[in-house]
Chain A
Amino acid sequence: MGEVSALAVIIFIVIVGLVLFVSFYTARRSRSASGYYAAGGRIHWGVNGIAFAGDYLSAASFLGICGLIAVAGYDGFLYSIGYLAGWVVALFVVAEPMRRLGRYTFTDALDAKFNKRKVKLFAAMATLIVSIFYLIPQMVGAGVLIEPLLGFPYWVGVVLVGVIVITIVATAGMTSTTYVQFIKGSLLIVFALVIVIALLVRGLSTAPDQGGKVPFYEYKTITATQTNGAITPTDPTYTVAGTHDVKVKDKVTTFVNLQHEGIATWWKATIAADAVALHETQQVVVKDDGAKYVNGAPASDDNQLRQVGNMSRIEGETDTNTGALSPFKYLAVIGSPDSTIGLWKKAAWTDGGESTSVYYESPVPGDRVTRPGLNFKVEGSWVDRVDFVSLMIALFLGTAALPHILIRYYTVPSQRAARKSTVVAIAAIGFFYVLTLFLGLGAMTNGTINVLDNNMSAPLLAKSFGTFLFAMISAIAFATVLGTVSGLIIAASGAVAHDLMDRFGGLIKTERQKVVAGRISAFVVGGIAILLGLAFQGINVSFLVGLAFAVAASANLPCIIMMLFWKRTTSWGMVASIIVGIVVSVGLIAFSPTAWELYGLNPADAPIPLKNPGIISIPLSFLAIYLVSKMTKPDMMEEHRATAPRAPATEPISGAALTE
């Protein structure tokens, strides 16, 4: 992965250059506040629909989901299903009211029926917090991509994205972001389809060699005997230098350190009655002096961990190649109970000053990979199951509450255009998510998983088809990050400049000041995004996005739903709901097993057993808005109360015509 292709660099520069060209070209349209924050409300619904897809198919969708499918099979695809399902809520409940009630920001819509400063303040805070939560995985994705693409370290990718995005946003605001997302969304879907077609033409092999580019590496298994607990390999050229037992829950896995031709490596032992089998693994050992060894030899550009992932049995055959397969046959062959797939696990320990990480193969039947359970413990304890339900609820309800998605409803001229653009988004996003299953399973079976970082599975799969596809996919993925981060920074800068400085604080006197304030805010939020990207290196980006969805669904969605469908909702109820949603969801995350792991503590000791807070925080947020609204005086403006649900069929709309 250390080598850098000139073609990759050229394609990267071309795509980033195209993005910047679009920004400067559209800059003249962003001199007014409407132009800067909402692209003047003049974007065609078709363009906006694909731009929605561009916004939504972020680093998490592309890198995180494919990576998770590559290492955990169907469980990664559950994210695809949940993310897409969220668009149903957006279309049926949120799209047209958002377009009707808002002008530049999500806060506009929430506050439209109240016109209260406290609603502006707390809704803007919610926008900022959700945007920042969502920014983290995007920046992590940028850092992950830059190393194999350009050979730069992780931090360079993060800083580069921050600088480019600040340039895009500060230059041309929502207009450039929209066209960047349109271009990027289109390219992403087209090239994902190209890779899937190439994958189907290649078919499946028990010895995948990446089209002849990387020889298939067959991991050895040697036999051994066990006497009084001592393991002795039957091949005398191997000698045992030590053993280590790793206990995960109730299961103990034994690793044996073998010396062979002067090199010491760790092997995984399978012990059954008298027979012992020792399986070759991969490992990284860091000595107490900091020296790093990979698979027994000093780490170098030529000695890195091998990419992994293959099928050792295809429908009962151990040495076969299927040739080209149809899409359904491809899934059926991988999911056959007579197929076996090698998934990779990690064991790690520290002994004195020496730390060891061992990556070992764990064969799994095909039908286990194509159903849930490898990542989400749906067959585990009730806590595990509740955690899974919590995630699926957050994904379903989170989409319609993401500020950077909601502001895209203001870029089209009418409610009908908002609705149509959502339908286009569902078609584009749904199609892409179907492709993610093939991309992920393709990476799993083509030896293109980096055991250190599964986020790179899709680009590495593309690389197995040639440098051009790799360069295109990586550059598009990088542009994906640029586009999504741009949208998030627009949403966040709108919250600061429009919601807080102007509508809450009354500090802004002219349209020009509002645009300048938005651009300055973009610099600040961009800087924060860079710092967060550096802090969260190595976390699966799809998981991080799941958390952002939970916070959005908890803080924003109850307010949107209740404001639209319960005329007794009060401004104090809205404020209470936002506070409860944010505090409970962020609080639960802060005390979750995931956070404990980040803090360097034992996840099992975390006070909150749930990793996903939505199942608690969303109902509590609804309860808060209901109870506080009941306890406070109605303050929804009269014209809105008169047109609340079940009222006569008249509803206020924005000044723009209903038709586009």
Chain B
Amino acid sequence: MLHEPAAVHGIDEAAAYKRRLGLKMLAVYSVLYVIFIIINVVWPKAMGTMVVAGLNLAIIYGFALIVIALLLALVYNWLCTRHEKTFETEGKA
């Protein structure tokens, strides 16, 4: 029945910008994640080091990975939306 491409295509002029931005942010998060894994397997006892308020590095780093993921997501969405709106404004003009 449907041996044609699955989707109908239009143009997203911000695609290249969003792709570059996404890769950069992914690289930043990946570095943090890899460091976390490395500490766990190379210096596992370091994760027990008390950092602040009786909380150790394992808990602080774990929470940080969750919070940073959300912050990066919000920044990414804000930058992408702003860039898309630029094209929309230019299109209307």
Contact = CB atoms under 8 A, between A and B. Distances in A.
Given A93-B23, A96-B18, A503-B3, A335 B54 contact: yes
B1 A88 contact: no
Interface residues of A, number: 80
A91 interface: yes
Interface hub of B25, B58, B76, B77 (most chain A Cβ within 10 A): B58
A502 B1 contact: yes
Interface stretch (A193-201, A302-310, A370-378, A461-469): A370-378
Given A385-B41, A509-B1, A647-B16, 7 more contacts: A80-B62, A91-B73, A93-B22, A371-B48, A372-B44, A651-B15, A652-B9
Contacts of A648: 16
Given A379-B44, A385-B41, A371 B33 contact: no
Contact of B58 (A91, A329, A372): A372
B29 to A, nearest CB: 5
B9 to A, nearest CB: 3
A651 B7 contact: no
Contacts of A84: 65-66, 69
Interface string A324-341: 000011011101100000
Contacts of A416: 80-81, 84
Contacts of A649: 13-17
8 contacts: A93-B26, A103-B6, A103-B7, A111-B6, A370-B56, A370-B59, A430-B66, A653-B12
B74 A101 contact: no
Contacts of A434: 63, 66
A211 B4 CA distance: 63
A100 B54 contact: no
Interface in B1-42: 1-19, 22-23, 25-26, 29, 33, 36-37, 40-41
A388 interface: yes
Contact of B1 (A77, A506, A650): A506
A56 B54 CA distance: 32
Interface string B78-90: 0011001000100
Interface hub of B1, B33, B47, B57 (most chain A Cβ within 10 A): B1
A389 interface: yes
Given A371-B47, A649-B17, A654-B9, A430 B70 contact: yes
A434 B14 CA distance: 34
B80 A419 contact: yes
B5 A645 contact: no
Interface in A325-380: 328-329, 331-333, 335-336, 367-368, 370-373, 378-379
Query: Which 7 A-B residue pairs are closest in the complex by CB-CB distance?
Result: A332-B54, A652-B9, A651-B15, A108-B6, A92-B22, A655-B8, A649-B16
Interface stretch (A230-238, A256-264, A420-428): A420-428
Contact of A89 (B26, B37, B56): B26
Contacts of A328: 53-55
A419 B77 contact: yes
A658 B84 contact: yes
A455 B9 CA distance: 46
A87 B22 CA distance: 12
A437 B73 CA distance: 23
Contacts of B57: 371
Contacts of B8: 654-655
Contacts of A112: 5-7
A654 B7 contact: yes
A108 B70 contact: no
Contacts of A430: 66-67, 69-70
A74 B59 contact: yes
A208 interface: no
A74 B41 contact: no
Nearest to A392: B37
A508 interface: yes
A659 interface: yes
Interface hub of A92, A332, A437, A648 (most chain B Cβ within 10 A): A92
A427 B17 CA distance: 24
A389 B33 CA distance: 11
B7 A415 contact: no
A653 B4 CA distance: 16
A85 B65 CA distance: 7
A388 B65 contact: no
A450 interface: no
B15 A650 contact: yes
Given A92-B23, A650-B13, A503 B2 contact: yes
A396 interface: yes
Nearest to B65: A81
A115 interface: yes
B40 to A, nearest CB: 5
Contact of B7 (A101, A503, A643, A650): A101
Interface hub of A112, A368, A510 (most chain B Cβ within 10 A): A112
B56 A367 contact: yes
B48 A100 contact: no
A433 interface: yes
A109 interface: yes
Contacts of A426: 69-70, 73
Contacts of B70: 423, 426-427, 430
